[in-house]
A and B are shown apart, each in its own frame.
Chain A
Amino acid sequence: MLDQFTFIGVFLIVALVFGIAPPVLGYLVRPRKPSPRKAQVYECGMPTHGKTWVQFKAQYYNFALAFIVFDVVAAFLLPWALAYNALGLYATVEAIAFILILLGGLVYVWRKGALEWM
């Protein structure tokens, strides 16, 4: 188990090296002629109006909340799916009841109009 994740650790280091290498290589060969004009933000040729890091639409938050619910659920269901072949009908029906409760939640969110893009 630990041995397996040692390999993942080694692989992570290799992957990070592969991520860092191209900009470093590019740094050695590319030209550098900075100017304030060049560093301007690209926005249809217009100067940016106000701060960039503004508050954003609350709509995204709804989707994020719904996502967290279902993603956690998927993580909960994985052990059940793993043991599925060894489980009896009772455990299966229990898991299905769990999923149906969730579906109820989805229907509630839907009826509340949280899934509409406004």
Chain B
Amino acid sequence: MEFLKNLIVNVGLWFQGLLASTSLPETWVLAITRAAGALALALVPLVTIFFFIWYERKIVARIGSRLGPNNSGAYGGPWGIFQVFADAIKMFTKEDVIPAGADRWVFNVAPMLTLAIAVMIWAVLPLGKGLIGIDLNIGIFYLLSLGSGSIVTVVMAGWGSNNKYALLAAFRSIATLISYEIPKALSVLVVVMLAGSLSMQDIVAAQDVAFLLALPLTAFLFLAATLSELGRRPFDLVEADSEIVAGYFVEYSGIKFGMFYVAQFMNQLAAAAIFSTLFLGGWRGPWVDQVPVLSTLWLTAKILLSVLIIQFFQYTLPRLRIDQVLAFNWKFLTPLALVNVCAVALAGKTVPASAGPLTQAGISLGANVVLTLIVLGILAIAGRQARQREASRLATQ
């Protein structure tokens, strides 16, 4: 029973004990434990992604009044839960077509790097109490830098394909992806300010009050930037499947397309996990201290909830044009994120540093709410002026 209470950590400790009981030198024991841990951790996204894609497809189907995957012949399983495995097998057996004149090296390496980077994110995600690949002291900075790394693979895929559509789509994607890095980085900055640490476990530990309650506007900024980075509507110019088919990976077929597809979902899962960690309190929840294994379940519940939110944005909002997407970022999100940093920083200094976390959270909430109201007021005035201009323009015609 005691073993079950902290199941996952105890399995790791048991494995280490098993190795230590053999006559291996201590450094080897440590190295093997680390390598096995890394392997197990990397398997987490790759295995869960199959059920996650199924979950996502079910949500999409329900939003569109459909059933979604429910039965796929011999492979489907109950409620079509093995549909994704059938898809994966199909992709493995498809021929690999490399377009003539493609930059073969760049073309082939792009999907590999995309998938590798999507896996790399999981090294610093806190998956439970005391359960994390490595609690880097610059954890959140590491995540931001990986986000920039994935942009490089977009260029590689678009440039290597020898296809003008792919190339143009890659440029468009990069323009949006790099633009939305800024509000993302600036909203992370506010979280770091409140948590006082870049380490993911410390950020979780700092959330006696979930940061969503302390920083609602910041959470919104982060979510908007995340939606764009994932290529989700209303900012899904990266993919825009009903218009430009698949954007920068239009030339990929078979398993290489599958890798881009899986990496996208993996990024979405990771983004939901990051959002839960930064704003929803991560793995924290009732009874975590008594039964640490519950923490992983709480995190899973929060991730599924975040995914639900992302999905509702994705499948209920129309797509924006490229100029609207970029204008929304540069003329709205970026200035707002900058002002938000100032507002929270100033508000936090109105109370003494010795004040409790509740006071801190309350004052940040106040700053966020006031800023939100001001912004909504400015938007209302600007919108009315724009409508009046439009009306007078129509009247003079």
Which residues of A come within 8 Å of B, CB atoms?
Answer: 1, 4, 6-8, 10-12, 14-16, 18-20, 22-23, 25-27, 29-34, 36, 38-43, 48, 52-54, 56-57, 60, 63-64, 66-67, 70-71, 74, 77-78, 81-82, 84-86, 88-89, 92, 95-96, 99-100, 102-103, 106, 110, 115-117
Contact = CB atoms under 8 A, between A and B. Distances in A.
Contact of B251 (A18, A23, A42, A99): A42
B196 A15 contact: no
Contact of A84 (B162, B331, B348): B348
Contacts of A99: 338, 341-342
A31 B120 contact: no
Contacts of B181: 67, 71
13 contacts: A11-B123, A12-B116, A23-B112, A30-B92, A42-B163, A43-B163, A43-B165, A52-B163, A52-B167, A56-B167, A78-B141, A99-B338, A116-B323
B137 interface: yes
Given A11-B120, A14-B42, A74-B186, A30 B96 contact: yes
B112 A115 contact: no
Counting from the closest, the 3 A-B pairs by CB-CB distance are A117-B323, A19-B112, A74-B185
Interface of B: 34-35, 37-39, 41-42, 46, 91-101, 108, 111-117, 119-120, 123, 133-137, 141-142, 144, 148, 159, 161-165, 167-168, 171, 174-175, 178-179, 181-182, 185-186, 189-190, 192-193, 196-198, 250-251, 254-256, 258-259, 322-323, 326-327, 330-331, 334-335, 338-339, 341-342, 345-346, 348-349, 353
A40 B99 contact: yes
Contacts of A23: 96, 108, 111-112, 255-256, 259
A56 B170 CA distance: 11
A20 B98 CA distance: 17
Contacts of B161: 41
A114 to B, nearest CB: 9
Nearest to B165: A43
Contacts of A77: 186, 189, 341
Contacts of A110: 330-331
Contact of B116 (A15, A56, A64, A100): A15
B179 A67 contact: yes
B192 A82 contact: yes
A52 B120 contact: no
A66 B182 CA distance: 10
Contacts of B96: 23, 26-27, 30, 32
Nearest to B136: A4
A115 B331 CA distance: 8
